[in-house]
Structure 1
Amino acid sequence: MTDRTFTCGLDAAVALMGGKWKGLILFALQEGPLRFGELRREVAGISERVLILQLREMEATGLVHREVYRQVPPKVEYSLTGFGHSLNTAMGPLGEWGERNMARIEAAFREPDPRGGDAGEAR
C-alpha cells in the first residue's frame, strides 16, 4: 500500500473499500469464518484470482484475518477482524438505503444516458 493523506472520513472509508468486491466479501463474512471455496461461492461472479487479491489487500489493511490450520489437508479460514466488523456495521445503513432504492437504481442504469453513453458508465 502507498502512503496517502485523506481529505475526509468518507475519502478514507471509500479508499479502504475500493472496488465492487470488498463490500460483498465483508457481507459474506459477517456470519462467521469461511474457507476460500465457501467464500467464492458466496460472492457470485468473482474470479479466483480477484478473490485472492482482494483478500490479501483486506488482510493487509486489517479488515480480514486469515487463519491457517496446520493439518492434512491444509485448511485456511477467513474471518472479519474487529475493524472489519466495525466497517460492516457502518455499511449497514448504506445497504439498507440501497435495498429501499434498488428499483430506482436499476432503472437509472438501464436508461440511456442523454449525453449518448450508457447510464452505467462513469460520468
Structure 2
Amino acid sequence: MQTVWIGAGVAAVVVLLLLLVLLRRRSSDASESKRAHEAAQERDPPVELGETYEFGITEFTDHHSGDRVAVGRVEGFVLFTEDVPDAVSKGDVIRSKVLSFNQGRTSADATFVEQA
C-alpha cells in the first residue's frame, strides 16, 4: 500500500512540473510577442503609402469592415489587403497598394492589385 502512495506522489510531482513548464513557455511566448510589437512601434514602416508590394498571403481574416481580408507581411510588417478575389487562397502571392497605416504605424491597410 505504501508503494501506491509513493507512486501517486511521484506522479503528482511530475504533473505539477509539467504544468509549470507549460505556464512558463506561454508567458515566454507572450513576452516575446510583446517585445516584437514594441520593436515594431519604434521602427519606421518598410512600406510607403501609394506604393505596391508583393507578398504571400499567410491567412484571411475579418479585419475592421467584416469583409474577407488577406493578411501578409512585407519585411515583417503586416498588410491587411481588401478586395481580394475569392479565387485567391492562403499561400498565394499577390500585389497590393498601401492605402493607410494604423494608428501606431505597426500595420497598414491595402487594396488588391493583382495575383503575382
Q: TM-score band (shorter)?
A: under 0.3
Bigger CA radius of gyration: 2
Q: What TM-score results when the alignment is normalised by the length of structure 2?
A: 0.26
Q: What TM-score results when the alignment is normalised by the length of structure 1?
A: 0.25
Of Structure 1 and Structure 2, the greater helix share is in: 1
Of Structure 1 and Structure 2, the greater strand share is in: 2
